[in-house]
Amino acid sequence: MQMKRLLAPIIPLRLKAIGFKAIETLCNTRGNTGGLIKRIDENRELLEVLQRDAPAFLADHPWVVGWIASNDAFFVQLNDVIRSRRPGVNRAYPRPWPELSTGSDATSVVD
């Protein structure tokens, strides 16, 4: 009984450490599909594609840029906490936040 009382405050800390390690692993590798940095890069690539191929859509739905910017800001902040590793690639990775041509001020949300 006394041992259980002694371990009680330690167990939640250990569970938090295990949980953090699982999050760190997920952010760094996510199986073979890339980790958090890959998600940041793909999020930014999505905005580039929309700007290039669907500028009218972005003009009619400017909040979409805000959604993407909010996700980017969250991913970048999470990456700052986790310190995800860069995959072995030759180009700048993740790509920089795209220049916005829609008149949105969402650039202030990231980078």
Greater confidence (83 vs 87) lies with 83
Beta-carbon-side half-sphere exposure of residue 37 (alpha carbons within 13 Å) = 17
- Cβ atoms < 10 Å from Cβ of 43: 21
Mean predicted confidence (pLDDT) in 35-44: 87
Asked whether the predicted pLDDT for residue 81 surpasses 50, the reply is: yes
CA distances from 10 to 1, 17, 18, 64 (A): 15, 11, 12, 44
Using 50, 70 and 90 to split pLDDT, how confident is the model at 97? confident
pTM of the predicted protein model: 0.63
Q: Please give the average per-residue pLDDT across 82-99, as a whole number.
A: 67
Question: Mean of the per-residue pLDDT values for the chain?
Answer: 74
Boundaries of every domain in the chain? 2-109
